[in-house]
């Protein structure tokens, strides 16, 4: 299949039939090939001299997240303090990319991050299920934006997608993008419910066509969450999108990424699959709650020559 031009991409969203024809005309994903490449790249090591830089890069890409029913303003204030100064004893440690909270806690998060440069992301659109009507989803988004969210993490309607109602999913993303105003939009595909790599590729392209600034693997509430092969497929999508349009869009794996080794495997994948220009928090994020703690402990190990316990970094 030849690469679609920018003109052709604008044509494929003209109607539901055109959209379906385009999405089902995308090349199939070689399951064995993508899993083997992910496994091979996952074994690649980096030199000790580069590890500290990789850790700092990963820290800067973390969306420090709390999405629990028991979340409180106090917990969010603690989270924002951690986001601004991940390790108070090492001032050179970069701040994280963003904190991610529910819409009703956005104002608390905005006050907490201040002018530090840390973004405030809010989940929206009936997270995590996406089971509501468009009016409710837009109200959810507008609540977060009005409270000061700089990023919106929406969820697609997986039921509609899996039923082949691609036009409905497309129109919802377009409407939420409009409601975001200046806030960046991350589109959560919930890849653990999409069943196949081909569906992940189709959902990625659908989100990109509809204007998503980032495509995100998961809510973190469904298993499996982020996996390296799925992230490879999504990185291929944003790379191909750049090749077709010249536009750079981001990727955010979320859920299940807990260790520095995990994070470095993902950074290697970003470099090798999409390209080094994606190695920035503007184009790659980790959705995580516990990853930052391990990154900080491993960073201290690199600097001090011995393993540091988790006490000084834990935020629960």
Alpha helices in the chain (DSSP H): 6-12, 16-25, 31-42, 48-60, 73-84, 106-113, 134-146, 158-162, 166-180, 197-209, 228-245, 260-269, 291-304
How large is the angle between the packed helices 228-245 and 197-209, nearest 10 degrees? 40
The β-bridge relationship of strands 250-252 and 98-101 is unpaired
- Residues that are catalytic: 153, 216, 252
Which among 48, 42, 113, 78 is positioned nearest to 299, based on CA atoms? 48
SS3 state of residue 105: helix
Distance, CA of 117 to CA of 115 (rounded, Å): 6
The residue whose two tokens read 């104002």 is: 107
The β-bridge relationship of strands 62-65 and 250-252 is unpaired
| CA 167 from centre of chain | 23
User: Omega of the bond prior to 128 within 30 degrees of 0, cis?
Assistant: yes
Which among 151, 152, 180, 156 is positioned nearest to 169, based on CA atoms? 156
């Amino acid at each position: 299949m030849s690469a679609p031009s920018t003109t052709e991409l604008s044509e494929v969203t003209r109607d539901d039939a055109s959209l379906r024809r385009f999405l089902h005309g995308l090349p199939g994903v070689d399951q064995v090939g993508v899993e083997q490449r992910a496994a091979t790249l996952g074994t690649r090591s980096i030199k000790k001299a580069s590890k500290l830089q990789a850790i700092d890069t990963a820290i800067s890409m973390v969306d420090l997240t709390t999405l629990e029913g028991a979340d409180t303003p106090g917990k969010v204030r603690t989270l924002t303090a951690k986001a601004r100064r991940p390790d108070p004893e090492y001032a050179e440690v970069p701040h994280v990319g963003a904190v991610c909270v529910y819409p009703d806690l956005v104002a608390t998060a905005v006050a907490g991050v201040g002018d530090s440069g840390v973004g405030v992301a809010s989940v929206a659109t009936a997270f995590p299920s996406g089971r509501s009507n468009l009016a409710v989803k837009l109200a959810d988004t507008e609540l977060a934006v009005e409270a000061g969210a700089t990023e919106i993490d929406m969820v697609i309607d997986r039921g509609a997608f899996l039923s082949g109602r691609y036009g409905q999913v497309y129109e919802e993303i377009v409407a939420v993008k409009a409601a975001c105003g200046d806030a960046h939009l991350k589109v959560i595909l919930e890849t653990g419910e999409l069943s196949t790599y081909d569906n992940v590729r189709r959902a990625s392209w659908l989100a990109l066509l509809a204007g998503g600034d980032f495509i995100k693997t998961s809510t973190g509430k469904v298993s499996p969450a982020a996996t390296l092969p799925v992230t490879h497929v999504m990185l291929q999508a944003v790379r191909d999108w750049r090749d077709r349009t010249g536009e750079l869009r981001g990727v955010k794996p979320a859920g299940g990424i807990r260790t520095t080794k995990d994070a470095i495997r993902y950074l290697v994948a970003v470099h090798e699959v999409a390209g080094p220009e994606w190695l920035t928090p503007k184009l790659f994020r980790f959705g995580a709650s516990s990853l930052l703690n391990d990154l900080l402990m491993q960073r201290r190990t690199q600097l001090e020559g011995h393993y540091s316990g988790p006490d000084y970094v834990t935020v629960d």
